[in-house]
Structure 1
């Protein structure tokens, strides 16, 4: 067990969901069936939107901790919180967004605001269990990882989006950053001091967007606003640090990492950057990965597992970069440096 990192508290969307959506009765976004999980140690679907493990699993492995269980798995039949492990909990939920309206797209998901509320309940329990002094030390050294924002952009740039009629793209990405700022300040007030925050990747290059363009090219408009949001996020993080000097953070520039992978796939051992491994139709992106979909046998050759999500091998690559990558992709610190503080 890593003493330098006593726990990981995971907030975010389907990139790091480890099974919360399985427990949402009417959610339209689930990965609780084959062919998901085909390369997971059990060979079974776990609610991860992946052929195997995702970034949450790999980061936990890096610091010597078990993957935090899904928060909803800790609830009793009466929806009371059972005993949470001191090594961390995952609140991440497929389809979740920073903005509350994003969460209405998929009928049922755990919004980031709600994820922070759930964390406050876990925190209260640990304060009772450990005592306030020990609990404060625990939270100060724990990692608070936030992987979110893609669904907000998908909601804005999807065909027939109502949201795009209400806000200009700039107003929208500014709202995303301002909302995240408030939620991070709330986490700070609840004891968080070490943040691991990822930007948004090249949303316009996922198979779901590529298939709509001639030549299966990326959606440059969506990518442009992903970079604008990321710029706002970097400013927000610097300001938080200025306002509260005891905050330390690692920002992972997943956009830069993904861009390099798409430009130089052979460096990463990847051969297919456009088509999904699991799905049906054009670029296998007409339907998600479901039991009726076909899937590739050479999964480690693919960037995308399904129409939105990376394969296990790519999640591992990104987790490696986040943990020990250069300042080009992880700044001002990588996670290895962050945990030593």
Structure 2
């Protein structure tokens, strides 16, 4: 009798263990078939490494000091960036690979089936604001090629089904706004701030429509942050070191235009399209207003750099970087630290309506 009890107990424990293991697997399971990423340096995971003539690279120390192995990978961060953290949230074992790293690879089909990252540091909505980077138009062009490869690999119906269930992340616009405010910019002579914002939104509309026409149905768009509060802008354009309000005004106007585009123009006219608008400006503004609440001790200076606010010289191997990186909002002149990127993704993934609307990313992938 005791032997039977012991056997039953051992079986009970084994069953409990299996159920627990299945639960963990379910929690960590990939919740979308693929993740496709478009954007700029905030989500570039190494595309610019493969652009020979580009000066906008981050594949050198001190970038990557907190990345596994302390390796500089081309991410404009001390460690992981938002693309990495979103991939983790979705259950992927790693970020989708940079598109340019796949060129010439024999196993490219097996790589693209779980998604691709097209983002490029320095990219803009407008081609003329993208310099030697992959503009949004070029990124969409490359995605068209990937979609064609998926159709050839899986067949039209299966490729369409995979893409429709996948998540598309788009993080773009900051470089276009920075371009307007450059000291040598010719843009203010051609456009008023409102005309320029309207141009960006109308151009972006066409780009999102092209992605939709190539199968995208779930799109997470990330609004522009408070660009006037970056260490570079504070240090160079404001003697007091305060935020540059003119730049922040344009960021707010761009975000308002993007929200209107999504809700009033695209969703009513593109059948099956669902989206989440990630309110970067609002979330980051809360960090500026109450830094200690979020664990920050410094939301003004860059951790890595030199000059006023560490915002005059980029994060080059010759400069110093802070030891308490988890307490800084900014890693360098423009980019957030690893911890800030993680916090932003947390907010967008399961956040409230003031952080992400009309639904959050977790709800978006469930539609």
Give runs of aligned pairs for residues 188-199 of structure 1, distance below 5 A. 188-199=212-223
Instruction: Give how far 1:81 is off.
Output: 9.4
1-structure distance, mates of 2:165, 2:190? 41
Deviations 1:190-224 (A, max 9, x none): 00000000110000000000002122000000000
- Is it true that 1:67 corresponds to 2:108 in the alignment? no
Gaps of 5+ in 2: 1-27
Q: Is the 8 A contact 1:75 1:81 kept in 2?
A: no
2-structure distance, mates of 1:305, 1:165? 33
- Is it true that 1:307 corresponds to 2:322 in the alignment? no
Deviations 1:263-312 (A, max 9, x none): 01111100101110001111111111110011000001101000000000
Q: Is the 8 A contact 2:328 2:337 kept in 1?
A: yes
- Is it true that 1:327 corresponds to 2:353 in the alignment? yes
- Is it true that 1:246 corresponds to 2:272 in the alignment? yes
2-structure distance, mates of 1:141, 1:35? 38
Give runs of aligned pairs for residues 44-193 of structure 1, distance below 5 A. 44-65=71-92, 66-76=94-104, 82-83=108-109, 84-104=111-131, 108-193=132-217
Note the aligned Cα RMSD (angstroms).
1.3
Query: What is the DSSP-based 3-state SS (H/G/I as helix, E as strand, rest coil) of the residue aligned with 2:220?
Result: strand
2-structure distance, mates of 1:42, 1:126? 33
Q: Paired residue for 2:246?
A: 221
Q: Is the 8 A contact 1:278 1:284 kept in 2?
A: yes
With normalisation by structure 2, the TM-score equals 0.90
More helix by share: 2
1-structure distance, mates of 2:67, 2:183? 34
Q: Which has the larger radius of gyration?
A: 2
2-structure distance, mates of 1:210, 1:337? 37
Instruction: Give how far 1:245 is off.
Output: 3.4
- Is it true that 1:24 corresponds to 2:24 in the alignment? no
Q: Is the 8 A contact 2:30 2:91 kept in 1?
A: no
Q: Is the 8 A contact 1:4 1:141 kept in 2?
A: no
Query: What is the DSSP-based 3-state SS (H/G/I as helix, E as strand, rest coil) of the residue aligned with 2:183?
Result: coil
Q: Paired residue for 1:272?
A: 298
Q: Is the 8 A contact 1:149 1:200 kept in 2?
A: yes
Instruction: Give how far 1:26 is off.
Output: 1.1
Instruction: Give how far 1:82 is off.
Output: 3.5
1-structure distance, mates of 2:233, 2:249? 14
With normalisation by structure 1, the TM-score equals 0.96
Instruction: Give how far 1:3 is off.
Output: 5.3
Query: What is the DSSP-based 3-state SS (H/G/I as helix, E as strand, rest coil) of the residue aligned with 1:216?
Result: coil
Instruction: Give how far 1:130 is off.
Output: 1.0
Give the alignment partner of residue 286 of structure 1, picking from 312, 318, 342: 312
1-structure distance, mates of 2:277, 2:76? 23
- CA gap of 1:228–1:47, structure 2 versus 1, over 3 A, is same
2-structure distance, mates of 1:257, 1:140? 29
Q: Is the 8 A contact 1:15 1:94 kept in 2?
A: yes
